């Protein structure tokens, strides 16, 4: 019957959300612990930003999914009234903002590492990375506080099973958050990773020239040319790895977040079923599991330590 099917669907959704909750907490916390305990990893600004991304993933997971589970299992939408709804919505918006902004910071960090390798250690220091993290969270919580301060309000959305700004009250807040919290960071990421690939392409051409010169050492400077060519070759795999990981993260980010933004767009007013709303929310939750896995697989040190846990 329809009632029986709905009951089993609710059970499957609840189990799925619980698995995502546990998996996200374990993977993200494990990555944070590994980075914090390893002094070599901790000294690298990139890893500090990665740890912050994991923290943002956990804030989204712990601050939102439990509320969705309560709503799904008990069907008590009244739980999301007043302070509870405001808290739930604030954590949702703030954590989403922190994730996007941290990914943007990581793209800038990797751009400097690849395109300005000589100056990287003077430009990007652990202290500056921590400052970037602080600014990221201040900006993220400012985003989350806007409905509290009177720009729109937080309300419960049955489709997403949690509280978020009342987009139907007007498009001004949606446009502001979509522009400053999504479009601008996305543009920065697209530009930085494009520049990285262009730099790698230029680097590859230089190596090809050096390889040709190495075939005629007597004419082109002998051993010096060969040593230069070997140094250039040793740097290229690292640059390819950085660019490849960054591109994967950018594509995963778009894959998980764009459907949510489209479905919840106040301008298009998508008339979707409850199942579609649930599905796009699940994709956002899954991003919190995918991010640490992607970084762990791209970092041999983190990957090795995860296997020991």
**Ranges of H-type helices in the chain:** 2-37, 39-42, 45-74, 83-115, 120-123, 126-145, 172-178, 184-214, 217-220, 223-263, 274-298, 300-308
CA-based radius of gyration for the chain? 23
Sign of the CA dihedral with 253 first, then 64, 46, and 289 last: negative
Provide the whole-model pTM: 0.85
DSSP state, residue 183? I
* Burial (CB count <10 Å: 0-12, 13-18, 19+), residue 105: buried
Give the pLDDT confidence of 229-276 residue by residue, as tens digits.
455 455 556 656 766 777 787 888 889 888 888 887 775 555 666 778
For residue 232, the model assigns a pLDDT of: 47
In tens digits, the chain (309 residues) has pLDDT values of 444 556 777 788 888 889 999 999 998 998 899 888 888 888 889 889 989 999 999 999 998 888 888 888 876 555 567 888 899 999 999 999 999 999 999 999 989 988 888 888 899 999 999 999 999 999 999 999 999 998 888 988 877 788 888 877 778 888 899 899 989 999 999 999 889 888 888 877 776 666 666 665 555 444 555 555 455 455 556 656 766 777 787 888 889 888 888 887 775 555 666 778 778 888 888 988 888 888 777 777 777 776 676
Two tokens at 22?
Answer: 């546990």
Q: Which domains are present in the chain?
A: 7-216+223-307 (1.20.1070.10)
Report d(CA 224, CA 135) in Å as an integer.
46
Give the Cα separation of 149 and 136 in Å (integer). 20
The tokens describing 158, both together, are 């049955």
């Amino acid at each position: 019957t329809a009632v029986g099917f709905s009951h089993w669907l609710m059970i499957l959704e609840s189990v799925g959300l619980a698995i995502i909750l546990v998996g996200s907490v374990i993977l993200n916390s494990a990555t944070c612990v590994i980075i914090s305990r390893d002094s070599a990893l901790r000294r690298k600004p990139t890893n500090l930003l990665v740890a912050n991304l994991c923290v943002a993933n956990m804030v989204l997971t712990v601050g939102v999914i439990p509320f969705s589970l309560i709503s799904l299992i008990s069907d008590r939408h009244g739980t999301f009234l007043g302070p509870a709804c405001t808290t739930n919505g604030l954590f949702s918006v703030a954590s989403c903002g922190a994730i996007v902004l941290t990914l943007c910071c990581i793209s800038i960090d990797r751009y400097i590492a690849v395109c300005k390798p000589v100056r990287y250690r003077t430009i990007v220091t652990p202290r500056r990375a921590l400052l970037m993290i602080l600014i990221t969270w201040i900006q993220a919580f400012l985003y989350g506080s806007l409905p509290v301060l009177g720009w729109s309000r937080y309300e419960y959305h049955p489709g997403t099973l949690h509280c978020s700004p009342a987009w139907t009250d007007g498009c001004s807040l949606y446009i502001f958050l979509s522009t400053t919290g999504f479009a601008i960071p996305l543009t920065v990421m697209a530009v930085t990773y494009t520049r990285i690939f262009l730099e790698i392409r230029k680097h590859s051409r230089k190596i090809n020239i050096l390889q040709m010169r190495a075939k005629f050492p007597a004419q082109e400077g002998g051993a010096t040319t060969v040593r230069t060519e070997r140094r250039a070759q040793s740097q290229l795999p690292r640059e390819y790895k950085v660019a490849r990981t960054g591109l994967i993260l950018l594509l995963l980010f778009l894959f998980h977040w764009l459907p949510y933004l489209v479905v919840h767009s106040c301008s298009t007013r998508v008339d979707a079923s409850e199942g579609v709303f649930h599905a796009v929310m699940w994709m956002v939750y899954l991003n919190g599991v995918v991010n640490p896995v992607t970084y762990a697989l791209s970092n041999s040190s983190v990957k090795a330590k995860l296997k020991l846990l």
